[in-house]
Chains A and B, each alone.
Chain A
Amino acid sequence: MGFEWIKIPYSLLTLFIVVNYGLLLNALIAKIAARVGRRHGIPIWQNYVDMIKNYGLRTSITHGVMFYMGPVFRLSGGVGLLLFVPTIYGSVMFSNLSFAGDLILALYFVFFGTLGMALGAGESGHPYAAIGVSRGLAQVTAAELPFALAVFAVALQYETLSVTEIVAAQQGSYLNWTLFTNPFAVAAAMLSFLGSMMRPPFDVVLAPQEIPIGPPTEYHSSYLALMQTNRAIFPIAKMVVYMNLFFGGAVSWPIFFVKIFLIYMVSVLVGVVFPRFHVEHSVRWFLIWAVPLGVIAVAIV
């Protein structure tokens, strides 16, 4: 099978849609949180303005090569994750490059951004960045564990590592979703999902009040704008993986939007209710609650 060049504009289109959706979704979430506090909240286009502003700053300084690479790695983590899983199942236009990579690659990309960030933030030499990074790595590693177990369970269950085939197996009725066929795996994965979304109670990595904002402390202007872009893409990409693995994928954009929104709301709702965990708390929490669920999920398949 030769490479179809038409896939490139198609993927770019996916990327474009996802970026915009991500920016709007983030603003919408902020707006909902503001409404809960009886505020007006930010305008829905605020994220765009902030990005233009950051790209438009006249000066920027660097701390070395890795400092440049940090945001780039992070962004490629998000983009890569997005492109190697089928965004819309059954659509030639939006299944992207999913033929080329499987679940393991996707797993790798989830971690990739954090690692890139660790390198970049380490180079900035700011102590808060270092604290943030070490917390982030500890927490992401702990959160990754149940997710990996859940993914193994799913892979065993469907006896494939291809995301497309996993989605295919879940079509038909919602009773075919992994959510119902293997609830333990989904539970473990959703707990891990909470941990990787950087929302309370697992936002000690950014911790705006104590270590100014953790890893990105030194980032500014275009670097920051790049990272903002990634903040739009990465959660969505991640949720696409979840949606594909556990919630039956999406066959059209409206279903995609709704499902992503609902998955996102899970972490938001948990976030507004619970206060922040310490890193050691959250690591322990993942090991005690999420990992056994993952083990059960693998065991019963």
Chain B
Amino acid sequence: MDKKTHKDPAKTSAELPSVDLNPPEVQPQKPPAPPAERTIELPEELRKRTVKGPGGVEIEVEPLRDYYCEAPPTVMPAAYSKIVEDLFNWARAESIWILGFGTGCGAIEMRPLMTPRYDAYRYGIQWRPTPRQANLFVISGYLSVKTLKRAIRSYEQMQNPKYVVGLGSCTINGGMYWDSYNTIKRLDEYLPVDLYITGCMPRPEALLAGFMDLKRMIRAGEAEGANKYAEYFDWYKANQKRVIKDWDMPDYSW
């Protein structure tokens, strides 16, 4: 760094007005924002409508009801026999298929795992391009509300058992986006998280270590996020709907 711009750090902080990032309760609170004037409408293609079928038959279509199955998920029991369940858990742990969906900066740190240097394939970890075939959803960093919507749908399309790993401080408490108007701060309020990997950004080694931990959990049968999601479905939905103001999708997408 060049000499002129380099300032004594202590001096800089003295010059700055002190900003209290956590205002105490006594500070006068602003009155709550007036209720939203804008009502959000469903996009055209999802609204209820009548279409003319061949031969002039009129058909009422309500896309969200008719085109999607909205039945909430159910808790799926484990296999009856302990031995079979153990075998399955072992297989699940040794064959982790990650959904290739990167949400934040973290997506960039996942890629090195495929390269010769880290080579996650040797642990049975692979990337799958479709949620139907994936078991592990790595939320790789900050999640804006818009992405959260997609993340929820992708998560719901994955098949039980499925796991969620939160990557980086953004998923844990908002990280450096703690005061952003557009990103969520606690991932586990919206999706059942099995494991967090800390850091901003976590190194690929940290990711690998996290995956090893996840494997241990799966093996021990502790990673039951999908069942947790089914069990507390209403709670999760309420949380999701609180931040996603234009809910224009089915309540549960199979």
List A residues at the B interface (Cβ < 8 Å). Answer: 34, 37-43, 46, 49-50, 52-53, 56-61, 208, 212-213, 216-221, 224
Contact = CB atoms under 8 A, between A and B. Distances in A.
Nearest to A37: B116
B130 A212 contact: yes
A46 B159 contact: no
A42 B132 CA distance: 22
A56 B121 contact: no
Given A57-B159, A58-B160, A212 B129 contact: yes
A246 B254 CA distance: 48
A59 B76 contact: yes
B130 A42 contact: no
13 contacts: A34-B119, A37-B116, A39-B115, A39-B119, A40-B121, A41-B122, A49-B124, A53-B88, A56-B79, A56-B91, A59-B159, A216-B133, A224-B133
Return the 6 tightest CB-CB contacts between A and B, nearest first: A212-B129, A56-B88, A52-B91, A220-B132, A58-B76, A40-B122
B130 A213 contact: yes
A42 B121 contact: yes
A217 B132 contact: yes
The B interface is mostly helix, strand or loop, or mixed, namely: loop
Interface of B: 76, 78-79, 87-88, 91-92, 94-95, 115-116, 119, 121-122, 124, 128-130, 132-133, 135, 159-161, 226, 254
Instruction: Tell me the interface secondary structure of chain A in the complex.
Output: loop
A46 to B, nearest CB: 6
Given A59-B76, A224-B133, A53 B92 contact: yes
Contacts of B79: 56
A57 B226 CA distance: 12
A132 B119 CA distance: 29
A56 to B, nearest CB: 4
Contact of A220 (B91, B115, B121, B159): B159
A42 B124 contact: yes
Contacts of B122: 39-43
A232 to B, nearest CB: 16
Nearest to B92: A53
Contacts of B132: 217-220
